[in-house]
Amino acid sequence: MPYTNEKKLKELLQVYFIMGSPNCLKDPILTLEEAIAGGITFFQFREKGTGALKGEEKTKLASELQEICRDHSIPFIVNDDIELAIKLEADGVHIGQDDEALRVVREKMPGKIIGLSAHTMEEVKTAIREGADYVGIGPIFPTLTKTDTKPVQGTKLVEEIRSTSLSIPIVGIGGIHAGNAAKVIESGADGVSIITAISQAVSPKEVAAQLKKVVLEKSK
The binding site for Mg(2+) comprises 80, 99
Site mask for ligand 3NM (CB under 6 A), range 175-194, x = bound = xx-----------------x
Strands 76-79 vs 42-45: parallel, antiparallel or unpaired: parallel
Residue in 26, 108, 146, 150 annotated catalytic: 146
Q: Nearer Cβ to ligand 3NM, position 7 or 159? A: 159
Can 10 be counted among the known catalytic residues? no
Can 117 be counted among the known catalytic residues? yes
Does residue 195 touch ligand 3NM according to CB under 6 A?
yes
Pick one of 21, 66, 117, 187: the residue that binds ligand 3NM (CB under 6 A): 117
Residue 220: Cβ within 10 Å count: 5
Can 183 be counted among the known catalytic residues? no
- Supply the minimum distance, in Å, between the C-beta of residue 180 and ligand 3NM: 11
Q: Are 152 and 23 in contact (CB under 8 A)?
A: no
Does residue 174 touch ligand 3NM according to CB under 6 A?
yes
Tell me the HSE value of 201 on the side-chain side, using a 13 A CA sphere: 24
- Supply the minimum distance, in Å, between the C-beta of residue 75 and ligand 3NM: 17
Q: Nearer Cβ to ligand 3NM, position 201 or 209? A: 201
Please name which of 146, 82, 149 lies closest in space to residue 118, comparing C-alpha atoms.
Answer: 149
Residue in 46, 112, 205, 212 annotated catalytic: 46
Binding positions are 44-48, 79-80, 99, 117, 143-146, 175, 195-196
How far lies 128's CA from each of 86, 150, 166, 188, in Å?
Answer: 22, 21, 9, 17
- Supply the minimum distance, in Å, between the C-beta of residue 14 and ligand 3NM: 15
Does residue 173 touch ligand 3NM according to CB under 6 A?
yes
| Cis status, amide bond into 139, omega within 30 of 0 | yes
The per-residue b/e assignment along 25-46, b for 16 or more CB within 10 angstroms, e otherwise, is: eeebeebbbbbbebbbbbbbbb
171: left (phi over 0), alpha (psi -120 to 50) or beta: beta
Residues at the interface with ligand 3NM (CB under 6 A): 117, 136, 138-139, 143, 145-146, 149, 173-176, 194-196
